[in-house]
Structure 1
Amino acid sequence: MADSLTTLSTTLTKIIMPIIITIGVIGNILNIIILTRPTLRHHPCSYYFLALGFNDLFYCVSLIYSLLTHGYQIHPEYSSLFWCKVLFTIASLLPFISAYLIVLASVDRFCASSTNARLRNWNNTVVARSAILIMITFWCLFHINTLVLCELNFADYIGCGIRLKTLYNQILTIIEAVLFAILAPCLMALFGMLTILNTKQVRLLPKAKSSYRRTEGQLIRMLLIQVATYLVLNIPLCVTY
């Protein structure tokens, strides 16, 4: 029975994973092309979506590693400790960056739709670029722990990974789970709902040009769809994280 399930899982991985990678790569390339249009350069939220597009494109390409590992039992990370650390860290880092880019976009849409002028002042391209840079730098520094603690050892079933043999490793794993599986979805849901409330209470950017206002509304809808999709697809994963 176990062998049959393993064979089925391997077969499905070989069939489904290439489709996911192909659709993901094409979709993110199209997103990048659209978001680099001159008409969107003045919209801060487009910067978050553009960064998300590049990050997700990189992540989709990195899924080839998962295809090789789970579909064909080819383990590039086993070739050396260097590749073990690099591949494991990338696989851990990119989902965090994606999640918190959506969080930043949610905060941006909340500020843009607010009746408070001080909050609306945070909705600008300078803040967007700075926030993206700070956030990516923070998560890269945070995952230095992953890079250092990751080990390659064939003495157990883990192979390449972080072993929970010390209190520090256990605490780090718990912190990662809280930040990814609890905090990020909660922030997305919170600011998503606040944005919806804001747009119901006031007319979005009443003094702006109609074309600008229309684009802002489209960006809000894009964000809400992104948040809803993330929550639906990732909550089961977060529960088992």
Structure 2
Amino acid sequence: MNRSNNSSQIILRLNEITANIYRSSFPPLIIFGLIGHVFDIIIFTRPKLISNSCCNYCLASSCVSIIQILFGQFFRLLKGGFYMPIPVLWWCRVRVFFLYSAYLASTTLITLASADRFASSCSQVKYRRWANVKVARRLIPIVLIISGLSQSHMLALFVVHRDGEKECWAPRHSHYRLGYDISFLIVHGIIFPVLLGTFGFLTIYNISRRCRFDQQNGPSSLRRHRIRDFQRMTLVQTACAIALTLPFAVHKLYLTVTTFELKTPETLAWELLSMSIVRLLWFFHDSGAFYIYSLSSVKFRHELFKFLDEYLPRRAPRHSHYRLGYDISFLIAHGLIFRVLMSIFGFLMIYNIRQRCDNDPENRLSHLKCHSIQDFQCMTLVQTACAIALTLPFAINKLYRTVIIFELKTSEKLAWERLSMSIVRLL
């Protein structure tokens, strides 16, 4: 009996951890992923880059990845984090079709971008002619069509499994499911990462060879800088493609291979937890494309900074009531009002849970409710303390610099102010 109770508590705890992984990690993953892809679209549509064939592939990949985030991560958050599945067969098929079609198209376009860089670095004209905007704009729709056709079987063959998770996938105990999971592992876990790494290092080899050939002509320093840039970008791309994709593919194949085994509820709970972790890594590969690929390139970073310099609003004039009023309102809103509201709602929630726990006549779920009280207390205290400690110093420092702006300051005092601002801005 004690063993059964311990097993039930372990299962509840594992399911709670799994749900918390989805709740805590997927919202920032979705938000930062959408922001990153919007930045990618801005970068690759810049006048200097839109005429580049490689950037056209990256632009199309970013647009497709937005579809994957919306159809994959958002509904996975509802299902895994808030237990809100949509077990409608036609919707499940359409959602999975768009998710995996977009993922295949995005990965293929990134690989074509790597191949395009290799072609542009070749000395032979027969290879360089493939690094052309016209070629890229013809290949992109072909890739999208082939990706959709290759995943179209999902619209007819996938089913909703009537178990606790209500997962939409290929039928269990079928060679079709085993074959698809094996092909997914081979294509996304092996072939695409190998192609990315191969084209990347061949590009580095071509640039290095041209650098040695032109060493006496002067631009060797620029070439060496490009080599280092490509080396860093290639290593980051290849390592992330393997580390973030392979665990998900291996785990899906493992679930398919072991589908005939009888598993205890505790084993199933551990599998759900491990799947949430590898799924998080898999989704991060697409949400983090801007931070993995674009920010690892010096050229792309420069274009982003140029855009921000051109279009971001300028700072308010130093000697203005508008600046003073804005800094005061910023301090009141972000340093006081929001923090007070956060703590009030948090402690009111704790009070309501305590009241429901005390009014429970049969003392049912008391352990779970007491655990919820402790969890909410800890979360509320941490949220309120962090919000005050990390936001208030920045707001006060901004207001301080605005108030004393008319004072004459020494160079040393200005240096101390810049140092303090860097510290509170970091917070």
TM-score by length of 2: 0.50
* 1:106-144 per-position Cα deviation (integer Å, ceiling 9, x unaligned): 110110111222101110011111221111111100111
- Kindly indicate whether the alpha-carbon contact (under 8 Å) linking 1:84 and 1:152 is maintained by their aligned counterparts in 2: yes
Instruction: Say whether residues 1:55 and 2:73 are aligned partners.
Output: no
Going from structure 1 to structure 2, the CA distance change for 1:177 and 1:146 (only over 3 Å counts) comes to farther
Q: Which residue of 1 aligns with 2:146?
A: 138
Which of 243, 253, 256 is residue 232 of structure 1 equivalent to?
A: 243
Q: Which residue of 1 aligns with 2:26?
A: 17
- Kindly indicate whether the alpha-carbon contact (under 8 Å) linking 2:200 and 2:230 is maintained by their aligned counterparts in 1: no
Which of 2, 23, 44 is residue 35 of structure 1 equivalent to?
A: 44
- Residue 79 of structure 2 aligns with an amino acid whose one-letter code is T
Larger radius of gyration: 2
- Kindly indicate whether the alpha-carbon contact (under 8 Å) linking 1:68 and 1:74 is maintained by their aligned counterparts in 2: yes
- Kindly indicate whether the alpha-carbon contact (under 8 Å) linking 1:51 and 1:101 is maintained by their aligned counterparts in 2: yes
How many residues in Structure 1 have an aligned counterpart in Structure 2?
231
Q: For residues 50 and 228 of structure 1, what CA distance do their matches in structure 2 show?
A: 22
User: In angstroms, what is the RMSD of aligned CA positions?
Assistant: 2.6
How far did residue 229 of structure 1 move?
A: 2.9
Q: For residues 161 and 22 of structure 2, what CA distance do their matches in structure 1 show?
A: 25
Q: Which residue of 2 aligns with 1:171?
A: 179
Please identify, of 187-196 and 19-28, the stretch whose mean Cα deviation from structure 2 is larger: 187-196
Q: For residues 232 and 63 of structure 2, what CA distance do their matches in structure 1 show?
A: 17
Please identify, of 47-56 and 145-154, the stretch whose mean Cα deviation from structure 2 is larger: 145-154
How far did residue 159 of structure 1 move?
A: 4.3
Q: For residues 163 and 39 of structure 2, what CA distance do their matches in structure 1 show?
A: 45
* 1:162-204 per-position Cα deviation (integer Å, ceiling 9, x unaligned): 1144434433332233222221111111111111111211149
Q: Which residue of 1 aligns with 2:13?
A: 4
- Ranked by relative contact order (alpha carbons within 8 Å, sequence separation 6 or more), the top structure is 1
What runs of 5+ residues in structure 1 fail to find an aligned partner? none
Q: Which residue of 1 aligns with 2:383?
A: none
Which of 198, 203, 223 is residue 190 of structure 1 equivalent to?
A: 198
Instruction: Say whether residues 1:67 and 2:87 are aligned partners.
Output: no
Q: For residues 36 and 20 of structure 1, what CA distance do their matches in structure 2 show?
A: 24
- Residue 52 of structure 2 aligns with an amino acid whose one-letter code is H
How far did residue 6 of structure 1 move?
A: 1.3
Going from structure 1 to structure 2, the CA distance change for 1:190 and 1:228 (only over 3 Å counts) comes to same
SS in 2 for 1:123: coil
- Kindly indicate whether the alpha-carbon contact (under 8 Å) linking 2:204 and 2:231 is maintained by their aligned counterparts in 1: no
- Residue 91 of structure 1 aligns with an amino acid whose one-letter code is L
SS in 2 for 1:103: helix
Q: For residues 233 and 138 of structure 2, what CA distance do their matches in structure 1 show?
A: 20
Q: For residues 139 and 200 of structure 1, what CA distance do their matches in structure 2 show?
A: 35
How far did residue 34 of structure 1 move?
A: 1.6
Q: For residues 176 and 97 of structure 2, what CA distance do their matches in structure 1 show?
A: 17
Q: For residues 50 and 199 of structure 2, what CA distance do their matches in structure 1 show?
A: 23
- Kindly indicate whether the alpha-carbon contact (under 8 Å) linking 2:111 and 2:195 is maintained by their aligned counterparts in 1: yes
What runs of 5+ residues in structure 2 fail to find an aligned partner? 1-9, 253-427
Q: For residues 58 and 115 of structure 1, what CA distance do their matches in structure 2 show?
A: 38
Taking every aligned residue pair, what percent have the same amino acid on both sides?
27
SS in 1 for 2:181: helix
- Kindly indicate whether the alpha-carbon contact (under 8 Å) linking 1:182 and 1:238 is maintained by their aligned counterparts in 2: no
- Residue 169 of structure 2 aligns with an amino acid whose one-letter code is G
Instruction: Say whether residues 1:129 and 2:119 are aligned partners.
Output: no
Going from structure 1 to structure 2, the CA distance change for 1:124 and 1:67 (only over 3 Å counts) comes to same
Q: For residues 228 and 111 of structure 1, what CA distance do their matches in structure 2 show?
A: 22
